[in-house]
Amino acid sequence: MGMTRAQKAKKYGESEGSTPAAPRRPRDPAVRPVSVHEMRPGELAPEPGKSSSAGILVGVAFFVGVALWLYYHLLVLQGVSGALAGGVTAPELLAGGFSAEHLADFARGLGTDGRTEYEGVHATTGLLTPLLTGLGWLLFTGLNTPQRARKWVYWVVVLAYAVVFLLGNSALDAAVAQPQDTAAAAYASGLVLARWILFAALLLIAVLVCVSVVRRKFDDFSRGRLPGQRPRS
């Protein structure tokens, strides 16, 4: 008949009466998360969810700017030409600039009340159009142009367009208020011409950015780098 645990403890001591405890394993040292600044090139993987969300927001801002530009030029200024100026084309719709005689005819067609409404158009839709259009182009080119130098060139053109647009509105208000001032008319005409040249540059930038994006996508597809693709050796 075997001895009980208490009898073993009395005869051999406490060490024999108790079950030996399992040795404790040392804890693994706490691993500090790696900072983004400590990662090597290529280790920072993009998160598809955040990237797609940013792309959607930028796309919305870009198309809002384009829609507002079309609304201003195709509806608002056409209404100014027809309803306010009696059929005389608004000066900013003339991409090649305008003469002092045309500006005098436009001011005469507007009259005092029409001139006030024309200035109101510049203070509302004419103010929002270059700001939102410029913002949409800035975000679009910033998201899709990885080269820093090229991105800054694009941004300079976009900002120049917005500034020239606003200066042109102010110059047109001053020229319409004093249609006999040929120097003011020439200055406003030069700003309108520069505005259209810069807008053509914006269209060219949009085309170049789209072509660059398509090329990168094709290159990533050929190398198997697109999300869901199996990398090729």
For 117-164, give the secondary structure using H, E and C. Answer: HHHHHHHCHHHHHHHHHHHHHHHHHHHHCCCHHHHHHHHHHHHHHHHH
| Model confidence pLDDT, tens digit, residues 97-119 | 999 999 999 999 999 999 999 99
Residue 231 in domain: no
Instruction: For Cα atoms 138, 139, 145, give the angle at the middle one, nearest 5 degrees.
Output: 85
| Model confidence pLDDT, tens digit, residues 166-213 | 999 999 999 999 999 999 999 999 999 999 999 999 999 999 999 998
**How much is the pLDDT for 37?**
47
Q: What is the pTM of this model?
A: 0.75
Residue 12 in domain: no
Residue 99 in domain: yes
In whole angstroms, what is the distance from residue 17 CA to residue 226 CA?
66
Residue 163 in domain: yes
Residue 184 in domain: yes
Q: Which domain covers residue 106, as residue numbers?
A: 52-222
* pLDDT-derived band at 40, boundaries 50, 70, 90: low
Residue 131 in domain: yes
* pLDDT-derived band at 45, boundaries 50, 70, 90: very low
- The distance between the two most distant Cα atoms of the chain, rounded to a whole number of Å, is 129
Residue 188 in domain: yes
Neighbours of 181 (CB within 10 A): 15
| Model confidence pLDDT, tens digit, residues 61-94 | 999 999 999 999 999 999 999 999 999 999 999 9
In this model, does residue 43 exceed pLDDT 50? Answer: no
In whole angstroms, what is the distance from residue 110 CA to residue 122 CA?
14
Total domains, the chain: 1
Residue 194 in domain: yes
